Structure 1
Amino acid sequence: MNVFSYKDIYIEDGKRVLEVNILPEKYCNFDCIFCPIGRSYNKVDTQQSFDEIDDSFNELESMIENNNVDLVFINSKGEALVNSRISDIIDLIKSKGVPVRLLSNGYLLGRKEYMQIANKCDEVIGEIKAISEEDFQKIQRPIEGYTLKEYISNMILFNKQYKGKFILEVTIIKGYNDTEESVNKIKNIINEISPDKVIVERMNDERFKKKLGISDERFDEISKALQNI
């Protein structure tokens, strides 16, 4: 049984993208109340080893070679950086002459060992959802001792030294960060992190959309405000 799983190849900006999950189940340092994957029963921020990983490497190599892939997007069930072989995974992809995009929630990017791994990638995506310490603890339920201040600081620290393209994904959540005051706070966070690109998202999962989703009109307003900084 392979550890990795894949989405169908899709086209983005004319490029063939292979999206791969490198975790056998959810391993994450957060336990967000709105996570589409479900609860974090493996709540960790240290690297984990998985059995039968060599078969997964062979499969990934074949997927890249047989599908004319232009970009590999590591988008996993949780925090991809906790896979103990992620550095080798990135090296394999790069050895095929294919660029790598990594999705991380961003908290670990300020730690030297993870920073060095992420630096190998051509693109790194970090995330912001909660914008107050109270909400961060309440809706993202991080590992004990984590703070919102350190979360933001870690991404600032990473991006200051990162040579690739840093993308900040901001998720707008009804009742938590959708007011004008909240949007202004997000603007300040964006200015501090100084990403190369901002992506604005909202709750699209039907399980959370009714309670945490915002209207199309409000989403458009916020998107324009954040992407025109």
Structure 2
Amino acid sequence: MGDFSYKDIYIEDGRRVLEVNILPEKHCNFDCIFCPIGRSQNKVDTQKSFNKIDSSLTELGSMIENTKAELIFINSSGEALVNDKIDDVISLIKDKGLSVRLLSNGYLLGRDEYIKIANKCDEVIGEIKVITEEDFQKVQRPIEGYTIEEYISNMVSFNKQYKGKFIFEITIIRGYNDDEESIEKIKNIIKEISPNKIIITRMEDERFKKKLGITDERFEEISNILLNI
């Protein structure tokens, strides 16, 4: 038994999708106050080795065969790029002739070593949750030295050279980015990044929904604005 974990397979746009978490515990370059996984005890942005990688890769191969998956979604507990065997994971999937989707918060997509890895994926998801420097430092609590400007710039530069499908996920949070001025800023960020697809989400976790969630009406209104730029 390896250290990877899996969600039940599901159908998306006619494809059988298998989600895999390649981190045995949370490792991330952020420590967001509203993260559903919890606090980042391992706040890192450099790659790290984990145990049981050989058995994990063998298990992944078996899961792909047994589920007849068509798209493998690397959606991990934190930032998947910090697993130093992520290249091997992607290669295993590609060798089986399958597509790979990678979820990253997007900050590391400005570094050459991670750009090279992400470029091997058919789809890459980057995300944004707050849009001011003050909020970024206060609620996403990144590694020291990170800035919101560089965060956005990294996704912009990555997508300019990326040949796959770049998906930009925006989380609307009450009191942080749901006002008209913030929506205008998000529109400009979308234009800068020029993603292939936009996903609008909101706080669904019950622990944060009451304080940070927005109404159905406001969510629909914002979604219509951002999805029709």
Q: Which amino acid aligns with 1:132?
A: T
Question: Could you tell me how far apart the structure 2 residues matched to 1:66 and 1:199 are?
Answer: 30
| Per-residue CA distance 1:4-59 (angstroms, 9 max, x = gap) | 00000011111100000000000000000000000000000000100111000000
Q: Which amino acid aligns with 1:199?
A: I
Question: Could you tell me how far apart the structure 2 residues matched to 1:225 and 1:139 are?
Answer: 25
Correspondence for 1:168: 168
Shift of 1:3: 1.2
Within a 5 Å distance, the mapping from 1:212-227 to structure 2 comes to 212-227=212-227
Correspondence for 1:64: 64
Question: Could you tell me how far apart the structure 2 residues matched to 1:137 and 1:228 are?
Answer: 30
Q: Which amino acid aligns with 1:171?
A: T
1:130 counterpart = 2:109: no
Correspondence for 1:209: 209
Correspondence for 1:88: 88
Long gaps (5+) in structure 2 = none
Question: Could you tell me how far apart the structure 1 residues matched to 2:142 and 2:186 are?
Answer: 20
Correspondence for 2:26: 26
After superposing on structure 2, the runs of 4+ consecutive aligned residues of structure 1 that deviate more than 3 Å are none
Question: Could you tell me how far apart the structure 2 residues matched to 1:140 and 1:116 are?
Answer: 26
SS at match of 2:144: coil
Length-normalised TM-score, structure 2: 0.99
Length-normalised TM-score, structure 1: 0.99
Shift of 1:80: 0.1
SS at match of 2:126: strand
Within a 5 Å distance, the mapping from 1:1-229 to structure 2 comes to 1-229=1-229
Question: Could you tell me how far apart the structure 1 residues matched to 2:67 and 2:205 are?
Answer: 30
Question: Could you tell me how far apart the structure 2 residues matched to 1:2 and 1:99 are?
Answer: 22
Shift of 1:128: 0.7
Question: Could you tell me how far apart the structure 1 residues matched to 2:139 and 2:197 are?
Answer: 25
Q: Which amino acid aligns with 2:80?
A: A
SS at match of 1:27: coil
Question: Could you tell me how far apart the structure 2 residues matched to 1:52 and 1:121 are?
Answer: 23
Question: Could you tell me how far apart the structure 2 residues matched to 1:52 and 1:20 are?
Answer: 15
Q: Which amino acid aligns with 1:172?
A: I
| Per-residue CA distance 1:107-147 (angstroms, 9 max, x = gap) | 00010000000000000000011100000001100000000
SS at match of 1:169: strand
SS at match of 2:18: strand
Question: Could you tell me how far apart the structure 2 residues matched to 1:7 and 1:186 are?
Answer: 31
* Count of aligned residue pairs for this structure pair: 229
SS at match of 1:207: helix
Shift of 1:2: 1.7
SS at match of 1:124: strand
Percent identical pairs in the alignment equals 77
